A = this chain, B = another copy of it.
């Protein structure tokens, strides 16, 4: 059993075949959730799963479950999966790799006639990306009870078409299975890193022990607009001055909690945005992250104190709006250990790390012992046609997944 290996060429070929559905001229993939192209991708996946002997069910959110049964009556499955939908400017690997690697695990077990005590199940989650329907992760979110089914069904795309309607349109509104979590022994998700850490450190496998918590804020600074010429500097109430100081201080703040802390200012809006007028208002979007929730909470308090400390002497009125927050996730030690041991036995180089991006595993981990496995992607780039992973890393990650699943399913 220790010598069992997946078929890297077959997995690579499956990924490349899937990438043709929605393939773009620049080598990327545009296969957004519940579109005609997503239907084609799902159909191909279901066909492959049935060819591999799996029982395929679809739940009311369109999540697809392909089960390879164990010999006994034990129904507590070891699952793996990710998503087949892409961003409009997506690549070949994000999500797809995790789904097709699960299928490759099953194909490998079939080839070697390996029986597992617990069933092995591959899942394709609906609308992970959130590109067509907001919010992201809605399929795994309903499945794990974070969202109500009614909420999931009623999400609309920009044309006003609901998820329920779209599921009906493409024939993936599940008839028999309810959108609810089941009895799961363990869950794994294999994914490209979407960051540069593994590549920079020259490591092949990321052993992912959790997902960063993240807080989204809109910090609004209100000043007094005045003419750029006649108004002396020392009488101005200038929101840009406040914003620049706040930005600098927040960069210093995250530096105190490195290497896993992050702050990102993705958007700055200035009103009225007139070249020769001190702005009336500046809205700064802040994305603050740390994998340890206590640390993130401390950074949250620091952020509020910094904004107050800077704005008060500058006479700037401010408001901190809590746009959204996602708690830090610590994955199950049992799953992390299964991954760690597999990496060690397979003798791959590895790095213990956190996920900076959200994944279906965030929600899955609410109802099942869960962890993730990362492989490097070139330049840390994803959501882009130039998204790249090497065949060697694709194969290595899937071997880790195979053995982590075998350890927990045996």
A residues adjacent to B (C-beta < 8 A): 193-197, 200, 212, 214, 216, 226-235, 240-241, 243-245, 247-248, 251, 254-255, 258-259, 261-270, 273-279, 282, 285, 287, 289, 323, 355-358, 380-383
Question: CA A323 – CA B276 in complex, angstroms?
Answer: 12
Residue A273 contacts which of B216, B248, B267, B275 (CB distance < 8 angstroms)? B267
Copies in the complex: 2
Would A275 and B216 count as touching, CB distance under 8 A?
yes
Residue A270 contacts which of B214, B226, B248, B267 (CB distance < 8 angstroms)? B267
Residue A356 contacts which of B195, B228, B247 (CB distance < 8 angstroms)? B228
CB neighbours of A196 from chain B (8 A): 230-232, 235
Q: How far is the CB of A79 from chain B (nearest CB, A)?
A: 24
Would A227 and B383 count as touching, CB distance under 8 A?
yes
Would B261 and A233 count as touching, CB distance under 8 A?
yes
Would B275 and A266 count as touching, CB distance under 8 A?
yes
CB neighbours of A231 from chain B (8 A): 195-196, 262, 356, 380
Would A380 and B226 count as touching, CB distance under 8 A?
yes
CB neighbours of A264 from chain B (8 A): 228, 275-278
Question: CA A258 – CA B233 in complex, angstroms?
Answer: 8
Question: CA A247 – CA B248 in complex, angstroms?
Answer: 10
- In the complex, 19 of the A-B residue pairs with CB atoms within 8 angstroms, ordered by the A residue number, are A193-B230, A214-B228, A227-B380, A228-B289, A229-B289, A229-B357, A230-B355, A231-B262, A233-B258, A233-B259, A233-B262, A234-B258, A244-B247, A264-B275, A264-B277, A266-B274, A266-B277, A267-B273, A269-B273
CB neighbours of A227 from chain B (8 A): 194-195, 356-357, 380, 382-383
Residue A248 contacts which of B226, B233, B248 (CB distance < 8 angstroms)? B248
